[in-house]
Structure 1
Amino acid sequence: MSQEPEPVQPKSHGRLSIKVSMKPRDLMEGAPHLAQAFEARVVTLFPDAFPGTLGLSLTGKALDAGLWRLKPIDLRTFGLGKHRTVDDTPAGGGAGMVLRADVVDAALEAAMEDTPADRSRWPVIYLSPRGRRFDQAMARRFAACDGLTMLCGRFEGVDQRVLDARQIEEVSLGDFVLTGGELPAQAMLDAVVRLLPGVLGNAASTEEESFSDGMLEHPQYTRPQEWQGAEIPAVLTSGNHGEVAKWRRAQSEALTQERRPDLWQAHLDRQPPKKQR
């Protein structure tokens, strides 16, 4: 008689992290959380994909320092039967498979353990090409939260009933389709984590880059002064900080008008109406 496979214990990343467990809180072992550290919990069929690039460079250093925590949660652990089935054929027919509502719900129940009920403090999102497009404003909103739970889809998607029942926010990385939500999850977390206090070290870095004020960033230059016949614009080496700021603003406006007329129009719409004389 075959035995049920033992559930795979999910890995955690960062100095300290939570455990997904059905045990009462007072029976759990382990160190307490680092106070006020942002935490990302990612429900995925491929937990080994994390931290991936998030473990490199500044986000990786911040993870090791405990400035944020990452908890991949293996959806397969909550699968049904001997083979830990997580999907089934689409109702009404069609190609591919759909992640089951009961399996996804069980994984989300565990992933949301000890999180605030207030979704403004701890959003729960599903990475989906039909969701609202991710942007810098959304990254800032998430970075201001206590944490974030992300559901990575696979195959033809997730049973709509669990998305409705859990009131899950659908978010898209862009107008294209990928094989799963893991890459969008990493990209979005990179955008969020770099906004957390202490991660970049220089807060001014996030204030001058693209989309920080709704427009594209100005061009950047560094040494050598002359490269392949092209010089650094003289204003940038003039020492006149006021003129540098004016030049950068003009360049930002020109690039936005040329490359992203949608952003430029939104910028114009935000301007206060001119007073009539």
Structure 2
Amino acid sequence: MVWTAHVLSLFPEMFPGPLGQSLAGKGLQRGDWAMTVTDIRDFATDRHRTVDDSPFGGGAGMVMRPDVVASAIDAARHKADGITKVIYFSPRGRVMDQALVRELAAEPGVILLCGRFEGVDQRVLEAREVEEVSLGDFILSGGEIAALALMDAVVRLLPGVTGNSASLEEESFADGLLEYPHYTRPPVWEGRAVPDVLLSGHHEKIRDWRQRQSEELTKNRRRDLWDRRERKF
């Protein structure tokens, strides 16, 4: 069984989008992973295919109806054959990080609920045990871009998708640190030289240099990651 993303969206034409290109796209064509996309409007019950209504208590905007969203989730779970985890993209949710990405990559797949308008009726999130996830402290027009970002992060960890698996072990967040700087030819560019140690051919010294660079970058740019790592060790 391949890892499968079941996307629920009001704009199914946005998928696969960039995930149909490059390594992810080739993996999708080969069957290394799979995606199904469902239009939430298919579960509306009126002739106008209404999926939203005014919020109780007043306020701006519209709210996605719980009955319509619940029907879409239930249908996805039935189709997904054992995939039960549902993620809804919301600023209130757990901030997506590499730990969450690894967790999802270890699952058989995930159902991704892409909200629009002012959001989704709280009752359906509770009744269907939906997990809320955020990309960060900013607002998007809807969950589709967030879903693409999450899928890209997960898919690249799946067997067969990324050609060089060793590169996954050395990148940022793999060990709680930001990744060290990279250099390639020419050795001198606009008067800027590649660090001598990288040209030395001394693999142990290169590893030590890269480790120190990762540590310094993390301490200077992401003190939260550094402090978390310090507490862990």
Q: Does residue 36 of structure 2 align to residue 74 of structure 1?
A: no
Shift of 1:124: 1.0
What secondary structure sits across from 2:8 in the alignment? strand
- Residues 122, 145 of structure 1: 8 Å contact kept: no
Q: Which protein has the bigger helix share?
A: 2
* SS in structure 2 of the partner of residue 150 of structure 1: strand
| CA displacement at 1:202 relative to structure 2 | 1.3
What residue is the counterpart of 2:111 in the other structure?
A: 149
Q: 1:94 aligns with which of 59, 77, 80?
A: 59
The answer to whether the 8 Å contact 1:122/1:146 transfers is no
Give the match's secondary structure for 1:113: helix
- Equivalent residue pairs, number: 233
Partner Cα separation in structure 1 for residue 71 and residue 151 of structure 2: 23
Cα distance, 1:122 vs structure 2:
4.4
1:214 and 2:179 are equivalent in the alignment: no
The answer on 1:200 being equivalent to 2:162 is yes
Give CA deviations for 1:60-118 in whole Å, capped at 9, x if unaligned: 0100110000111100111121110000000111110000000001111111114455x
**CA distance in structure 2 between the aligned counterparts of 1:96 and 1:233, rounded to whole angstroms:** 55
Q: Deviations over 1:160-207 (max 9, x none)?
A: 111000011000011111110000000011000000011112111111
The structure having more radius of gyration, on CA atoms, is 1
- Report the Cα distance in structure 2 between the residues aligned to 1:206 and 1:122, rounded to whole angstroms: 27
Is 1:179 the counterpart of 2:144? The answer is: no
Unaligned runs of 5+ in 2: none
Matched-pair identity in %: 57
Residue identity opposite 1:38 in structure 2: W
The superposition leaves residues 233-252 of structure 1 with CA deviations (integer Å, 9 ceiling, x where unpaired) of 11111111100000000000
Decide which of 69, 89, 92 is 1:104's aligned counterpart. 69
Larger RCO: Structure 1 or Structure 2 (Cα < 8 Å, ≥ 6 residues apart)?
Answer: 2
Q: Which runs of 5+ in 1 are unaligned?
A: 1-35, 272-277
TM (normalized to structure 2)? 0.98
